[in-house]
Amino acid sequence: MLKFGDFIFDSQQQRLLTTQNTQVEIEPKLIALLEFFLTHPEQLISRQTLLETVWANTLVTDNAINKLVGNLRKALNDDPKQPKYIQTVPKRGYRFICTISEYKPSPVNEESRVNDRQDNEAANFNLYRQLQVIFLGLFLLTAVWFVFKQSDNDKLAYSVALTREQGIEFSPRMHPDQNHLFYLRARNVSDDVELWVKNIHTASVNRVSLPHPISEIIAVTEQDTRSDLIYLDKGQGRCDVYKARLNYQQGEGFSVADETMLFNCHDKRVKDIAYHAQKNVIYYTAQPENFWPNHIYAYDLNKNEHVLLNQPAPKGWGYHHLDVSPDGEKLLVMSTGSDHKTQLLSFNLLNHQVTAGKQFDRPVYEAIWAHDSEQIFYYSSSSMQTIMQSDFDGDNSRVVVNVSERLSKRLNRIADGHSLLFSTEQDDYNLRLLSDNTTRSLHNSAVFDSYPALFHQSDDYLFTSNRSGEMQIYFADSHRAQSKILTQFRSSYALSNMAISPDDKHVLLVIDNDVFALPLHRLKSQQPLDVLSEETAIFTSDVPVIAVDWLSNNMVAITAVKHAKPNLHIRNLAGERISLPQGEWAYGLSDNSQKGNVYLIERGSHRLYQVSLNTASDGHQIEPTPLTLPNEFYWAKIDNQHLYYMNAEGESEYLHKVSINSEKSLTKMKVNAFSSYDVKQGKVMISDKVSRSGDIHRTYH
């Protein structure tokens, strides 16, 4: 028996006790994990070591290990931020840091426990026999109830992983023969996406070469022994939908016989796409002119005709994701307003009527019709990792399957009447500091660290992370390489941007398309902030807010998209409106190293202007600069007379640095799946993706 901290581990009985001799109920996997930690104290234990020892010959993902270590910490009341037992060594593994000693029960206590046990056994013998009879009766009644009352649809399904390769597998589609799984695969973040096919019965796989890059599998169909693949090629300057005829040869698998481009969507930004084989129609949602809100379109392959579907005017983010029912009569559409709450809608394709269904108190990006075209499948909240089934209005909901890994998009039906294909995904976004052609990794977690906001008077910074479950705000002390959680929001806020004022006294938060200005001394107080007060909101919006920046210590630039156009709003800390120079302006920026320098980006032309804002009158002085930004730039900032911005070229994203007094590009750095960045005195802190992993699963009843 081993004693550590407030606990005693009994290796012979495989149980965990408190020092007060009460048993802690934990599952066998956690017992095995704890025993391994206790037998390797003060040693750095890698994830691979845990896989090879605690879970030998078992398929376990990194995300599952995170969850199990988290559950063990919970059982031990261990705080990961100030660990007493299990210390996380970023990017390397774990270390058990508590002092361990041998524990020997005192003879008096042991004798007392023996006597008590004998008395209890004698006293409870008759009660035990009575309980046996009662239990047997209850068991028989329960068994009869399950036999006669529970239908197959009420039974919890189980899932099986169909892929387990290195990297990520996604966008799954099952061939109508229900033997071959088509899916996309990328080994590393920067690798090209490949099309693979796996025979789920023989486990044989083959890679299919395509004439064009593939971003998403839209459908795999079969008619008269002929198989077709419909896929989307979406990249910078490209948006094309192709149809490829497939050949199948025994022992070699599938290959492309020929290919036809069905249509291009270069003038739109496609969000989601679905195909109905019997109707031979492709439905998709997209942003016209690359701005919100999203609309619903249809392409009839028989008529070679595009149609903008008759639909109510979209609000907020618009109609972003959709699914066509198996009977082809209606669309299931996800519509999310500026409050980040999603409403499910049914679009009847025969009479164009729209019916409202289940409403969520959070953004939802994945919901599909069930096989009967009446009920729906959807994902529960991200913390639960559960696939649910319910009526269209949300009634009669039930759990279909629970999984231990994060669910990703592209939930699909299998044509057996009840089974599903789904994917899991684990993205690791890290913060990096770029300075003088060097890159330094910061104090990161193995999850999503993003939205860095740099202090101007020190080297500290804020960032957001879901390392504690829900997305929260953290303060990082750059000198001690430590981070401290500043918020414990009770609500699941959708935070999309953050910026610190030039004097380091306030921070801007963009949450659910409202802009809040919080005093930093309040945010850094000892008690983490758990709720946002409406009094701190300086701008509220019923349309998406896509950019914010400080123009001075008391003046803020806010960009909101309305009617597919970015509009600039300027507010002071009291929320009062400040007038703009005459013109059509999209973005406002400032150069904190050059006080008083304010810049505006003109809508449409993307020309950069330098402006002297006179808050006391409308007499603003405005002067054009030599710079014009590219059409599809985003996330622009100005620092030390240099303009920084992001854009995509081909399949890659780049961070550009350009002198304000010249159109010549100074630096151009490739990033991996960019999330956000901030810049101060030439130092850039960027959040982008380090690794990506995930697998494809199917359900069984």
The average pLDDT across 228-233 equals 97
Structure tokens given for 409: 């998009």
Closest by CA to 94, choosing from 77, 111, 72, is: 72
pLDDT at position 29 over 90: no
The average pLDDT across 570-589 equals 92
The pLDDT value given to residue 461: 94
pLDDT digit string, tens, across residues 419-449 = 999 999 888 888 888 876 778 777 666 678 8
pLDDT at position 144 over 50: no
The average pLDDT across 250-267 equals 93
The pLDDT value given to residue 168: 92
pLDDT at position 673 over 70: yes
**In this structure, are residues 529 and 487 in contact, taking their beta carbons and an 8 Å threshold?**
yes
Instruction: Write out the H or E segment, with its range, that includes residue 114.
Output: helix 107-149
Strands 665-671 and 652-659: antiparallel
Phi and psi dihedrals of 349, rounded to 5?
-80, -10
The pLDDT value given to residue 507: 96
237 confidence band (pLDDT: 50, 70, 90): confident
The average pLDDT across 65-87 equals 87
pLDDT at position 49 over 60: yes
The average pLDDT across 52-67 equals 65
What whole-number distance in Å separates Cα of residue 285 and Cα of residue 334? 10
pLDDT digit string, tens, across residues 79-92 = 888 889 999 887 77
pLDDT digit string, tens, across residues 518-542 = 999 988 887 888 888 888 999 998 8
- Among left, alpha and beta (phi > 0; psi -120 to 50; other), residue 606 is left
Mean pLDDT (the chain) is 86
pTM above 0.75, yes or no: no
- Among left, alpha and beta (phi > 0; psi -120 to 50; other), residue 340 is left
Structure tokens given for 413: 């039906």
What whole-number distance in Å separates Cα of residue 97 and Cα of residue 76? 13
- Residues ≥6 apart with Cβ < 8 Å to 250: none
146 confidence band (pLDDT: 50, 70, 90): very low
All domains of the chain in start order, with CATH:
2-102 (1.10.10.10), 159-266+408-424+692-700 (no CATH), 267-403 (2.120.10.30)
The pLDDT value given to residue 696: 95
C-alpha distances in angstroms, 588 versus 447, 537, 574, 591, 602? 32, 19, 18, 11, 9
pLDDT at position 124 over 60: no
- The dihedral formed by the CA atoms of 284, 288, 293 and 298, expressed in degrees to the nearest 10: -20
The average pLDDT across 683-690 equals 90
Closest by CA to 539, choosing from 570, 501, 563, 567, is: 570
pLDDT at position 136 over 80: no
The pLDDT value given to residue 125: 46
